[in-house]
Amino acid sequence: MASENLKNRILIINPPTFDKKQYIKEGRCESKKGGQLTPQITLGIISALLTRDGIYNELYDFMAESSGFQEILKKRYDKAFINISAPTYESDKQVAHLLKRSGCTTISLGVLSTALPELVLEDFDVAILGEPEIAALEISKGEKISAIDGIAYKNGTRIIKNESRKIENLDMLPFPDRDMLPVYLNPRTGRPFTAIKVERGCPFSCSFCTAPFYYGKKPRYRSIGNVISEIELCKSKYRINDFFFLSDTFTINQGYVKELCEKIIEKDLNISWTCNSRVDTITQELAYIMQKAGCYLISFGVESGTERIIKENMKNLDLSKAKTAADICSNAGIKSMMYYILGFPNETKQEMENTLRLSLNVRSDLARFFVATPLPGSRLYNNRPNLSELNLSDTSCNLSGVPEKELKEMVRKAYLSWYLRPSSLLKALWTFETPWHFIKTALDYALAYMT
């Protein structure tokens, strides 16, 4: 932390929800917590940038830390950067108003801030649009608001949107200040873990996803050496050996992944890690080297078992690849998790049954079932007034052609049908280090997605 300047105290906060529920809010990921929270990497980078520039700042992740928020309100800050999302916005804006009482300037960041600045500026002083790190630094340094790219603000009653901003050279960003972040635990092992953002941007156009909107369609990668250096720092300073490589589609650039894995093996880093991917971007050769480099789990988005739904929602996926991807992972000794979505616009009950049937035929180790959600920034967004409904586990945002009660039953049926099979239950158990870790995670998912 930089030396304290009483005239420029900066608060960086992932605010609590007043209903005590936990939500994932990191980049494009915004949903109720399932098994684990994604570490606040973006906020950590902002903190590191400010510290590097000599600006005093404090960072708090109140989704991971259950106490201390009332103490924050007793302090005085010049500016507060607040991580917001659609499902938590009612709480987020309350936090902004509480901080404003002491004269604090409030700045929002996140996908919602980018997608609906007109709404957000009813409660916040400034809205950051898109990647927030450099804009946050310039705001903290006191640069003229009208000259800062990537923000929106009010001039009287008029909303001003400055030029957009993309960070092309990701290596220019410092590593997250993990001294300022809480310890996050891997639900599979109970050991500390962290996330490392290796890439930003997605060339695909899936209707339900905000990644192309938030990060852009052009993938931008950190250099291999830069990623390796962060891994080494996490191991030496924080004793972290478990990682989540954050990327919108990690294996789309197979050459990059292969080179990263080769470097991890060459340096004998001895780490365990997981990533997200598409079922049509994994090969057997790539899976073998990923496993050798420490990959133990890959999560794949399959989404639907109906070709019409896949096509209309611009997934552009050959569904036969789902089974192939699961088999490739199994052959390489990697666990696989498949993501499915129920309740797409005008989807019928039979089409949801198709998805469940596909999930049962694909021999993955784990499966998750979400509800199609029109998040701001996605192609599905439909000006829904109640943002709190926009939750990947909330059926009240029902877009399908079936009643909400039936959609909720379909989600429950999907989980029970999938996990009550002896083969699925055994596979899931073997994914975790102990039965207790499995039970605890299963209860978390049940509370998030079946209640």
- Cα–Cα distances (Å) from 53 to 45, 49, 140, 363, in that order, read 12, 6, 10, 51
Distance CA 348, CA 354 (A): 10
- List per-residue pLDDT tens for the chain, 451 residues long: 554 545 689 999 999 998 888 888 888 787 777 667 889 999 999 999 999 999 999 999 999 987 899 999 999 999 999 999 999 999 999 999 999 999 999 999 999 999 999 999 999 999 999 999 999 999 999 999 999 999 999 998 899 999 999 999 999 999 999 999 999 998 888 899 999 999 999 999 999 999 999 999 999 999 999 999 999 999 999 999 999 999 988 999 999 999 999 999 999 999 999 999 999 999 999 999 999 999 999 999 999 999 999 999 999 999 999 999 999 999 999 999 999 999 999 999 999 999 999 999 999 999 999 999 999 999 999 988 789 889 888 898 999 999 999 999 999 999 999 999 999 888 888 888 777 777 777 777 666 655 5
Distance CA 190, CA 39 (A): 15
- Three-state SS for the chain is CCCCCCCCCEEEEECCCCCCCCEEEECCEEEECCCCCCCCHHHHHHHHHHHHCCCCEEEEECCCCCCCHHHHHCCCCCEEEEECCCCCHHHHHHHHHHHHCCCCEEEEECHHHHHCHHHHCCCCCEEECCCCHHHHHHHHCCCCHHHCCCEEEEECCEEEECCCCCCCCHHHCCCCCHHHCCCEECCCCCCEEEEEECEECCCCCCCCCCHHHHHCCCCEECCHHHHHHHHHHHHHHHCCCEEEEECCCHHHCHHHHHHHHHHHHHCCCCCEEEEEECCCCCCHHHHHHHHHCCEEEEEEEEECCCHHHHHHCCCCCCCHHHHHHHHHHHHHCCEEEEEEEECCCCCCHHHHHHHHHHHHHCCCCEEEEEECCCCCCCCCCCCCCCHHHCCCCCHHHCCCCCCHHHHHHHHHHHHHHHHCCHHHHHHHHHHCCCHHHHHHHHHHHHHHHCC
Distance CA 68, CA 16 (A): 10
Distance CA 86, CA 65 (A): 21
Residue with tokens 């470097």: 263
Distance CA 71, CA 294 (A): 41
Distance CA 242, CA 287 (A): 18
Report all structural domains of the chain as residue ranges with CATH numbers, in order of start.
Answer: 10-161 (3.40.50.280), 185-449 (3.80.30.20)
Residue with tokens 């201390």: 68
Distance CA 124, CA 90 (A): 13
The structure tokens listed for 77 are: 């800050």
Q: What residue type is 30 in one-letter code?
A: E
Q: Are 113 and 106 in contact (CB under 8 A)?
A: no
CA 4 to chain centre: 32
Contacts of 255 (CB under 8 A, 6+ apart): none
Closest CA to 249 of 273, 278, 227: 278
Closest CA to 244 of 299, 190, 302, 206: 299
pTM for this entry: 0.94
